[in-house]
Structure 1
C-alpha cells in the first residue's frame, strides 16, 4: 500500500483501508473514538491487483487508486472516492494506462490538491513518471508524461499545506522530485538529491506552511530528513525496513513531527521532535507487544486531536490500534486487536 491508509473523515470518524485478495476493505469507527464497524468491500465487485494507493485532501475525502486486469496480459488503473466513512464509496472507475495500454508499470501514488482534485502518479514503461489528474468539474485530463528516467517503482506523493501537489521517487543516484508551480499547473522537475537511498523507504509529509519534509533511509541504514534547498539531515538509525509512518501533531503546545516504524525486535517504535528542528535530536521508544514481521504502521489524529497508531499485517489481516492518552507527553493506551 502507498500513502496514509489510516484517515480521519470530515465527520471525525477514523477509517482504515487494506487489501484483501483481489479487493479492498474499509473499516470505520461507528462514532468518533468509538467502536469499529465490520469490514466493508470498497468500490463494487471489480477484481483488483494487490496494490493500493490512498490520498486525502483538505475536504477529508479519501481517494483510492489500484490496478485491475483488463484483457489478457494487460491492466489499467482505477479510481474510487470515499466521501465519508459511514457511506459507501463510489464504484471503481477506469482512468487508463500511462502508455495507453500494457502491463502494470509500478505502484501508483495519489495526492489531492486544494480544489479536491486527485492527481495520480505512476512510473511508465520507459522508467519515467506519468500522471493523470481530475478536472475541477468532473472527468479526467489526458495522461501526461512528466519525463525523467531510471525511476524505481516506489513513489511518495503529497500535497503542501497550500494544496500544491508534489511527488518524489528514487532513482539510481538519489531522489527526483516534481512540484506544481501553481494550482492546476503540470508538476515540473524540482531539486534532485544526489545521495544513495534505499528504494522503498520514501515518506513525504507537509511539515509547515512552506515546506515538505521527505524521510528516507540511506545506504548505511540511517533515517534521514530532507527539504528542498537544504542538505539532508541524519535523524537516527532506521528501526526497520520500508518507509516510516509520519504525522504532524502538537506535544506540550509545540508543533512536532511524530514517526513510527516496526523495529527488528517486532515491536512498534516511536520518535518525536519539534517540526523541522532535526538538530533537537530524536530517539526511538518501543511500545506494545511484537507484531507480525510484515506489519506496516500508520499514524493519524482522531476527531479529538489525539494521535492514533495502527498496525496491519497484509498476510494475516491482523489489525491493532492504540491512541494517545489524555495526559501530558506521548503516553499511549494499551494496544488492542480490532
Structure 2
C-alpha cells in the first residue's frame, strides 16, 4: 500500500523564503503534465524554483482566482517532471544534485506524491542512480514518467549507454530495481504514455530514427526497441492516446521543420506549423461536437503557438495560431472543472500565465491572467 503523508510539508512563500520565492518566480517550466485537475475539479499549476518548486491552486472549480504560490522545498532539485494517474494522484519526479562530505557531487532521482488538491506532499524518496559506476558513466539524465491505470508509477530516463532505463513500482508498493530496456543513441527526452488498456508505450528520437518500446500486457515486460525510419527532431516528441489502447506520437520533423503525427502501422502525417523547441503539450477534447487534438508549443523564437485538428484525422488539416505571448520551456494544456480548455505557460519574467477557452464556437482563448505572488 502506498503511504499518504502524515502531515503538512512545504510552507507559504511569505513565511521566510528567498526574495525570488517570495515573488513567486519560477526558474522555468516543469516537464510533463504540470497543469493538473484534481478529483474535486480544481486545477493546480506547478513550476520549479530555486530550492524546490512552487504550486498555485484554483480557489474554486473553474476559477478564475488562484491561491499561492505555495513553496515546497527540495534541496538540490535541478529538473522537475510532473505526471498524473487516472486516480488523480500527482507524482513528482526530480533530478537532484548534492555535494557529499567528501566533496563529490552525488546525483539521484527522487519521487514524491500529492494525493489531494492543495494538500501536503509525501516525503521525497530517492530512487537512486541506475549507473553502477556514476563517476565513470556520468550523472543520469532527467526523468520522464507515466502512471499505469492501476496506479503503478514508471520512471524512464536515458542511460549512460544511450539506451532507455526504467524503474517502476511493484504490486506491493515497493520499487523494483532499475531495468535496462536497451536501445542506443536516444534523445534525453523520451515520451511515455499510459493507455486505457493498462499498458504503457515509450517513443524516443534516436540517431537512427525513432525507437518504440511497448508492453504486451499491463504490468508486463517491455518489448523492443523497435526502430522506425522516421526523422523526429530531438527534444520534441510527445505522446497521446487517440484511440482505445492506441498511441499517436507528435514531433517536429527534422527535415521539414513542421509538426508531424505518427501511429505505428501508418505513415507520418505532416501538420505544418513552425519548428518546436521543446516537446508539444497535447490534449484530446471535444470542440463543437468533434473529437479533436489540441497541441501547444514554444517555437524557436520563444513564442507560444496553439494548434488543433481532428483526432486521428490529421490529414484533413491542422490549424495553427501564433499567440502574442513568449514563454520559457513547453506550455501546458488541460481542461478545467467546467470542461474548458486551459493553456498555461511560464513567462520570460518567471511568472505563470493562464488563459481559458472562451464561450462560442472553435477554440478562442480569453485574455491571459498572471498568477499572483
With the shorter chain as reference, the TM-score category is: over 0.9
Q: How does 1:1-12 map to 2 (within 5 A)?
A: 1-12=30-41
Residue aligning to 2:341? 307
Aligned-partner Cα distance in 2 for 1:142–1:264: 39
Return closer, same or farther for 1:20/1:62 CA change in 2, 3 Å cut-off. same
Give the alignment's TM-score, normalised by structure 2: 0.84
Query: Higher relative contact order by CA 8 Å / sep ≥ 6: 1 or 2?
Result: 2
Q: Which of 258, 262, 266 is the aligned partner of 2:298?
A: 262
Q: Which of 63, 69, 83 is the aligned partner of 2:91?
A: 63
Matched, 1:84 2:116: yes
Residue aligning to 1:129? 164
Task: Provide, for residues 184-223 of structure 1, a one-character-per-residue CA deviation record: whole Å limited to 9, x for no partner.
Answer: 1122215422122211111111112131111111122021
Residue aligning to 2:129? 97
Residue aligning to 1:319? 352
Give the alignment's TM-score, normalised by structure 1: 0.93
Residue aligning to 1:245? 281
Matched, 1:232 2:268: yes
Report runs of 4+ in structure 1 exceeding 6 Å deviation: none
Where do 5+ consecutive residues of structure 2 fail to align? Answer: 1-29
**How many equivalent pairs are there?**
333
On the 8 A contact 2:252/2:276 being kept in 1, the answer is no
Return closer, same or farther for 1:88/1:154 CA change in 2, 3 Å cut-off. same
Q: How does 1:124-163 map to 2 (within 5 A)?
A: 124-163=159-198
Matched, 1:188 2:220: no
Residue aligning to 1:336? 369
Matched, 1:32 2:57: no
Aligned-partner Cα distance in 2 for 1:232–1:155: 18
Aligned-partner Cα distance in 1 for 2:193–2:58: 25
Q: Which structure is higher in strand share? A: 2
The CA deviation at 1:333 is: 1.3
The CA deviation at 1:15 is: 0.8
Residue aligning to 1:48? 76
On the 8 A contact 2:195/2:247 being kept in 1, the answer is yes
